[in-house]
């Protein structure tokens, strides 16, 4: 067995850059940019009003004028007009400031009667209520950096610079495989000796959250059937997630079948609970995670190890935070202990509330969980208030 740190290091050494592809901006939310997004012109591209009101020339104000004949209107989206000195124009939010206009006074500070605007405020400064050209970004400035996961706000930036197609990191093509004679589909009624599939659908949900597409497969616990199914799957996918079949049972054929197809084992078994039997391997085309069959083990290993591989392969930061233990925990075994936790925020401090259930097969205890807190193997007693790393789902 190897340590958690050794396993993470090995996985990092086998992360994969799948290259990039060009997609339409409407499909880009959540994808990872593989180019810088540049301003195609200044932001904003013109002096624009930030209030509805009137616009004047500051020199008229400084000369003592407080009433101005209204000579026109400047609307957002209309071409720039020219303000006649000694007068004012009504102007709407977002409109280009007319030539000669360098002050916008909001309607709340103005009374307009008989075509004359009387200003009641004495606080007027140059460029008041005007958003100046280029103050957000100059032409050519990097607005969104390469390597960033595209957010809702970034979609707005892409469209504002006319970037209708964008380079993003390619996503791995994922196969999720359930194994086991005891499993039936969720819509089926299991026999007394059977259970419904859950692990693979939990993995589906975790992948959906990250925008990853996948295909589902099921293989029974027969070595020849496993080998035959893997022959095609291994050639068609970049990432394979297997649930079950990697422990020490007499029908746990997955490691043997993978290695017979040229997938090199990098490690099998980690000094941790839950998820000790995790299998990890790869060849030139495909990366394989063989998760233990118990639900808590599967989700823990995905959150800690597979998410680590995905983030490194896509150039994303870690999915970890730090949180305070909400209670004392005693764990006497010389193993890293991953405890699934809820993460309430108490006055700005993230607490890790243990949700320990009845072992790694206790699916029900995962309902309120938001991540796994990592309690290191070099100690047995973990005190309330101590800070540890949490792997988020």
366 pLDDT band, cuts 50/70/90, is confident
Q: Average pLDDT for residues 14-42, to the nearest whole number?
A: 96
Q: Contact 325/382 with Cβ under 8 angstroms?
A: yes
Domains and CATH numbers, the chain: 4-18+171-314 (3.40.980.10), 21-43+135-169 (3.90.105.10), 48-131 (2.170.190.11), 320-392 (2.40.340.10)
pLDDT computed for residue 100 by the predictor: 98
User: What are the strands of the beta sheet with 239-243, ordered from one edge?
Assistant: 214-219, 174-179, 239-243, 287-291, 279-282, 264-268
Give the Cα separation of 164 and 8 in Å (integer).
38
Residues 147-164 have a mean pLDDT of 96
pLDDT digits (tens, 9 = 90+) for 280-305: 999 999 999 999 888 889 999 999 99
Q: What are phi and psi of 156, to 5 degrees?
A: -60, -40
CA distance 283 to 218: 22
pLDDT tens-digit series, residues 128-137: 999 999 999 9
Looking at residues 185-214, what average pLDDT do you find? Answer: 89
Are 82 and 164 in contact by the 8 Å Cβ rule? The answer is: no
Q: Residue 358: is its pLDDT beyond 80?
A: no
* Average pLDDT taken over every residue of the chain: 93
Q: What is the DSSP letter of 120?
A: -
**What is the per-residue DSSP string for 36-73?**
-EE-SS-BSSS-EESSSEEEE-HHHHHTT--EEEEEEE
pLDDT digits (tens, 9 = 90+) for 237-246: 999 999 887 8
pLDDT, position 361: 47
pLDDT band at 1; cut points 50, 70, 90: very high
Work out the pLDDT band at 186, boundaries 50, 70, 90.
Answer: confident
Distance CA 379, CA 388 (A): 13
> Looking at residues 136-143, what average pLDDT do you find?
97
- With cut-offs at 50, 70 and 90, classify the pLDDT of residue 359: low
Q: Is 344 left (phi over 0), alpha (psi -120 to 50) or beta?
A: beta
- Cα separation, 48 vs 45, in Å, equals 9
């Amino acid at each position: 067995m190897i340590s958690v740190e050794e396993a993470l290091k090995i996985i990092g050494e086998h992360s994969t850059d799948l290259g990039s592809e060009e997609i339409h901006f409407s499909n880009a939310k959540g994808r990872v940019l593989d180019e810088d997004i540049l301003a195609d012109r200044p932001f904003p591209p013109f002096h624009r009003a930030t209030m509805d009101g009137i616009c004047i020339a500051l020199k008229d104000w400084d000369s003592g004028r407080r009433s101005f004949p209204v000579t026109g209107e400047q609307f957002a989206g209309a071409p720039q007009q020219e303000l006649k000195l000694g007068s004012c124009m009504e102007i709407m939010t977002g409109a280009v400031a007319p030539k000669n206009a360098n002050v916008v006074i909001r309607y709340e500070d103005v009374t307009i009667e008989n075509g004359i605007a009387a200003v009641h405020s004495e606080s007027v400064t140059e460029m008041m209520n005007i958003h100046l050209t280029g103050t957000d970004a100059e032409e050519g400035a990097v607005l969104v950096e390469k390597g960033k996961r595209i957010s809702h706000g970034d979609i707005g930036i892409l469209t504002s610079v006319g970037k209708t197609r964008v380079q993003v990191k390619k996503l791995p093509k994922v196969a999720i495989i359930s194994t086991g004679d005891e499993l039936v589909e969720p819509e089926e009624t299991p026999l007394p000796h059977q259970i419904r599939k859950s692990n693979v659908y939990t993995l589906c949900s975790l992948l959906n959250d990250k925008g990853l597409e996948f295909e589902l497969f099921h293989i029974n616990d027969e070595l020849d059937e496993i080998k035959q199914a893997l022959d095609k799957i291994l050639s068609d996918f970049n990432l394979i997630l297997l649930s079950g079949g990697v422990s020490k049972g007499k029908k746990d054929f997955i490691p043997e079948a993978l290695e017979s197809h040229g997938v090199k084992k990098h490690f099998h078994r980690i000094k941790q609970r839950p998820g000790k039997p995790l299998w990890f391997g790869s060849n030139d085309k495909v990366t394989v995670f063989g998760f233990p069959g118990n639900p808590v083990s599967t989700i823990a290993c995905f959150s800690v190890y597979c998410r680590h591989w995905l983030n490194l392969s896509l150039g994303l930061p870690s999915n970890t935070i730090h949180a305070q233990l909400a209670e004392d925990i005693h764990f006497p075994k010389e193993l890293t202990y991953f405890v699934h936790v809820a993460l309430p925020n108490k006055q700005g401090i993230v607490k890790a509330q243990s949700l320990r259930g009845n072992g790694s097969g206790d699916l029900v205890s995962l309902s309120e969980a938001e991540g796994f807190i990592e309690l290191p193997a070099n100690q047995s007693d973990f005190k309330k208030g101590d800070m540890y790393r949490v792997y988020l789902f």
